[in-house]
Structure 1
Amino acid sequence: MSADLDRTPRSLLVSERSSFQDERNRVSSQVEQHHLNYKVSVLLPECGSAPPHLDSVLKSFSSFYLIRNLPVYELLDNDFLQSAVYQGSVYGLSYRTRIDEDNCVALTPKGRLTLSLDKDSFEMLGVEGKASRFNHRAKSRFIVSVDLTDSCMAPGGRGYQRLLTGLRSRLQLKTDFLLSHHPGGGASLQALLSRYDWSEHTPETTHHTLTHLSCPALLTSDLLSCDPHSVLEWLGAVDAQVSRENSSSSFLSSLVCPEPMTTVGRALSVSVCGLLLPQDIHRLIQQIRCYLEQPHLESWASLTVHGFVDSPVSWGTNEHGVLRGGDTFYSLLMFHDHTYYLHLATGSHDTCPP
């Protein structure tokens, strides 16, 4: 057995407490910087079913597309650049590729194309890049990151032609690719979609009503007595429907609800999975805030957003890597008085969240 298997992987957790009414709060900027999201989970204590306006937001998340066997050089197509990349926010990610073993591709807003390549592919591509920060073997992985909106990457320019030639003639990289665009949607992607086998997907929503739920006594925004790691662990267990009873006969779970605790008669757990856009998450947060303004027995709610484990980037253009773990998520605890706790978490192969 490897000597480091018995060590818990290093993780980073950044926490802040503020108010939505504070002009300096960072919630909007953090949501916008976490581009590639695959799951959002919401927990509403003392709620049996989602209120109509909240349910409407959950059901209106933007659809996305899966393009099969897409040549990566098509992301440099002039029509695609003009109709999508230059006109709005494009979100794209290679599908079912593993960041520690395969070549991975991401396209993020403001036209940033990121390629995470193994050594042979990087040398074959023949463009400028840098060694990955998270090589667990000496320089076995390299990162190529280009701004497609930069003047040197304009179609016909030297930088553009060099990358296009490398992807079309030398590396010839192809991948299944998830793609979404805001605000143009499918119309702005139609020219690209028409040339390949593709399918449209709507994010999948699931609801679970929980009864007699033991939960931290978060009746106010004073969480100083609660350990953030314990609260996040509890939220994850609730979302995954893992038992938190810690009975003497159970060998599967030793999780318990952090103290101080209380019991709510019912709670609603909702999750949405897919390629989720930050704009939709913004709308969901605003609707949860409206929900909290109404009188409730419990005056808090939680929202947790997970990024793709195998995305080449995490927050903004920061490099993301996986050897063990691969966490990249943020969790927002919101209260009726407009205060919140924001927790940003990454795994051992990530830089500190901004």
Structure 2
Amino acid sequence: MSTSFTLSKKESQSKVYVTECPLASDVSKRPHSIITNHHFNYGVDIFVSTLLYENTLSSLSLFNGQSAKNWQYYHATVPLGAFFKDEFLNNYIKKRNCLVLSLGDIDSEDVYCIYQGKLRLSLSKESYERVGLQGKQSQFSKSRYNVQLDLRQPNFLPGNKTFDRFLKATQLSPLQNPVQFLIYIFSSSASQDPLPPIPQFFNSTAYPQKFKVYNIQDQVQVPPLFPRTSSVRLQSTSYSTVSAKDKDAYQKEVHSEGLSHILEWVALLNLESNIVMSKNLNNNNSLSTYSVFSDDDQTSVKLTRISFEGFLTSDNIYEIFKTLVSVIPQDEFIIISVHGFEDAPVSWGSAEHGFLVGGENDYTIIITNSAKSKNILSFEVVGSNDTHC
């Protein structure tokens, strides 16, 4: 089941897309497709029971920091054309997965990215007119244009008109100007031969992902991690009849509020707010009216937080997801919150992404394991200047 709701009246065009379902084996469906189609991620936060971490996860390279050292990315300041020299283009972009993102303000600067063999340029109107490439006007701004090229086309080589026109454009201002890039090279096949490191092609600095794991000091109050379908039964009175339409609208409103409550709890957990800690259970909080529990259901658990930060691929996060699904014990839950780059030209798939008042393109997946099945509750947060696929 999928649904959506608005974040708030203030940001009326920002939405949250929600999926509730048993864990599917079909990798083309959610939640698998949420992860694999979200290319540019700067961080992931995982919350598990401390018991699960100490008994199982701490012995795995994914969750003790060893994998983070191997998930190396690079930082380089070069012109865009540096990525289209023959050896780099053929060996790193056409044959392997090369993830590239320029660091800039997407509202006021030209921003570039490469993912799955595709190049996306988000250009100001002035830059677009200067370089002379064919593209489309942004859905969100008349003063911005998007250009996309498939770099893995067999004929995208020197001598091809499209290639030569593009290479000429990279030699013109502003595309000729050096900009800061994040670069991640990874192979989809373990059998591929290793290639020379990136620094051989241009001056760059290598970084491992930042990794941190620690136990949250206080026990955490955990609400029921499934949305309530109804809190009060609507019944007809002697003077008024409740229509089926009104009943349906009411159920949807209660359901949406239940989803909002869970998402708000996850946000407060990410902030490690005292509001969701057990020590706050009986305190009168004059600064917030939020309450974890809306009934007598009260659960408190000891949680461990595992964090990665840097430049993470969808492959990295999917490996984390699959491992966690394979080890989750019955009657436990795991939370994965992924944070996307706010100034990336794309969000999910090739969907155009912008910032304006908020560049949200984050998602959270909650995994629960009941006696009958493993279930998923996912939230995709989409900003007002974003499209969703």
Task: Bin the TM-score by the shorter chain.
Answer: 0.7 to 0.9
Report Cα offsets for 1:91-124 as digits up to 9, x if no partner. 11012x1111111111101x11111111221111
Q: Which of 157-166 and 74-83 deviates more?
A: 74-83
Report what 1:291 is aligned to.
327
Q: Which of 303-312 and 13-22 deviates more?
A: 13-22
Q: 1:21-60 to 2 correspondence within 5 Å?
A: 21-23=24-26, 25-45=29-49, 47=51, 49-50=53-54, 51-52=56-57, 55-58=60-63, 59=65, 60=67
Give the Cα separation in 2 of the matches to 1:187 and 1:250.
Answer: 59
1:166 correspondence with 2:197: no
State which of 250, 260, 263 in structure 1 corresponds to 2:299.
263
Compared CA separation, residues 103 and 9, structure 1 to 2 (3 A): farther
Compared CA separation, residues 68 and 341, structure 1 to 2 (3 A): same
State which of 112, 124, 132 in structure 2 corresponds to 1:105.
112
Q: Which of 178-187 and 339-348 deviates more?
A: 178-187
Report what 1:227 is aligned to.
258
Q: CA deviation at 1:258?
A: 5.1
Report what 1:114 is aligned to.
120
Give the Cα separation in 1 of the matches to 2:89 and 2:386.
Answer: 30
Report what 1:85 is aligned to.
93
| C-alpha contact (below 8 Å) 2:222/2:298 kept by paired residues | yes
Q: Which structure has the larger Rg over C-alpha atoms?
A: 2
Give the Cα separation in 1 of the matches to 2:322 and 2:260.
Answer: 25
Matched pairs, number = 336
State which of 354, 370, 378 in structure 2 corresponds to 1:342.
378
Report what 1:3 is aligned to.
none
Report Cα offsets for 1:64-92 as digits up to 9, x if no partner. 33333211011222111211111122111
Compared CA separation, residues 88 and 19, structure 1 to 2 (3 A): farther
SS in 2 for 1:153: coil
| C-alpha contact (below 8 Å) 1:53/1:287 kept by paired residues | no
| C-alpha contact (below 8 Å) 2:41/2:339 kept by paired residues | yes
Compared CA separation, residues 272 and 55, structure 1 to 2 (3 A): farther
Compared CA separation, residues 249 and 17, structure 1 to 2 (3 A): closer
Q: CA deviation at 1:36?
A: 0.8
Q: Which of 305-314 and 281-290 deviates more?
A: 281-290
| C-alpha contact (below 8 Å) 1:65/1:198 kept by paired residues | no
Give the Cα separation in 2 of the matches to 1:258 and 1:158.
Answer: 63
Give the Cα separation in 1 of the matches to 2:86 and 2:290.
Answer: 53
| C-alpha contact (below 8 Å) 2:227/2:262 kept by paired residues | no
Alignment root-mean-square deviation, CA: 2.7
Report Cα offsets for 1:144-196 as digits up to 9, x if no partner. 11111124522321111111111113431321110112218995463x53243
Compared CA separation, residues 249 and 235, structure 1 to 2 (3 A): closer
| C-alpha contact (below 8 Å) 2:222/2:301 kept by paired residues | no
1:149 correspondence with 2:152: yes
Give the TM-score normalised by structure 1: 0.86
| C-alpha contact (below 8 Å) 1:9/1:324 kept by paired residues | no
State which of 126, 129, 132 in structure 1 corresponds to 2:132.
126
SS in 1 for 2:385: coil
Compared CA separation, residues 182 and 152, structure 1 to 2 (3 A): same
Give the Cα separation in 2 of the matches to 1:325 and 1:242.
Answer: 22
Compared CA separation, residues 301 and 227, structure 1 to 2 (3 A): same
Q: Which amino acid aligns with 1:333?
A: I
| C-alpha contact (below 8 Å) 1:54/1:287 kept by paired residues | no
Report what 1:313 is aligned to.
346
Report what 1:196 is aligned to.
202
Q: CA deviation at 1:257?
A: 2.1
Give the Cα separation in 1 of the matches to 2:115 and 2:30.
Answer: 20
Report what 1:206 is aligned to.
212
Give the TM-score normalised by structure 2: 0.78
| C-alpha contact (below 8 Å) 1:103/1:118 kept by paired residues | yes
Identity, in percent, stands at 23
Report what 1:279 is aligned to.
315
Give the Cα separation in 1 of the matches to 2:13 and 2:59.
Answer: 36
Give the Cα separation in 2 of the matches to 1:228 and 1:13.
Answer: 10
Q: Which amino acid aligns with 1:311?
A: A
